[in-house]
Structures are given as structure tokens and as C-alpha cells.
Amino acid sequence: MLNRFKYAVMGLRWLVGKDNHFIIHFLLAGATIAAGAILMIERIEWLFIVSAIFFVLIAEALNTSIEASVDLTTGEYHPLAKAAKDAGAAAVLLSSLYAVIVALFIFIPYLL
């Protein structure tokens, strides 16, 4: 059981070392948490913020694993490899858009 946790931590280390986008999302998450703390958002609003943050980080982790798997499988251009990578990137884009929408709904009333 501890090995599974160890492998998950190794995966996070790999993500942080390999994927600059993951680091960017992580830093933006920190800024969002700081903004929520400063604005003293409500408990239910925290639930949406934290859920959106994890949604983006999970999507980025899955996208990076798709890219690594595709790169391992083929070293040359293939339309299906491109489709897999593009679909993974789309998942990150959609989750990021969701996070921005959640942040706007929550933070704009506090800022007005």
C-alpha cells in the first residue's frame, strides 16, 4: 500500500520536473487560494475553487501521461498520435476554462 503512495509521489515529482504547464497551473492555483483567503470567500465557494483547481491539475497530469505514452509508442508523425495529444490538450483547455468561469463567478462580486 505504501508503494502505491510512493509511486504517486514519484509521479508528482516527474510532473513538476517535466511539465512546465503543470508548474504554471500550480502557481496559478496558489494565487487563487491567496485571493480567496484575502477576500474571505464563503465555505461553499472554497469547495468550487478547490474542485476547479484539482480538475485542472488532474487534466494536466492526464494530458502529460498521454503525451508520454504516445511519445513512447511512436517516434514519427501519425494522425492518431496527433489526435490523442490534441484531445489531451483540449481536456486541459476545457478544465482551465471551467476554472476561470468558477473564479469569475466567485471573485467578481467581491471585487465590485
* Sequence ranges of the binding site for a divalent metal cation: 67
Is the pLDDT at 111 greater than 80, yes or no? yes
- Identify the burial level of 17 via C-beta atoms within 10 angstroms of its C-beta, where 0-12 means exposed, 13-18 middle and 19 or more buried: exposed
Catalytic status, residue 45: no
| Counted domains in the chain | 1
Does the reported pTM lie above 0.85? yes
Q: What is the grid cell recorded at 13?
A: 515529482
CATH number of the domain bearing residue 35: 1.10.287.3610
Q: Which domain holds residue 31?
A: 2-111
* Sequence ranges of the binding site: 7, 60, 67, 76-78, 85-86
> Which of the residues 22, 32, 60, 103 is marked catalytic?
60
Q: What is the grid cell recorded at 112?
A: 465590485
49-71 tens-digit pLDDT: 999 999 999 999 999 999 999 99
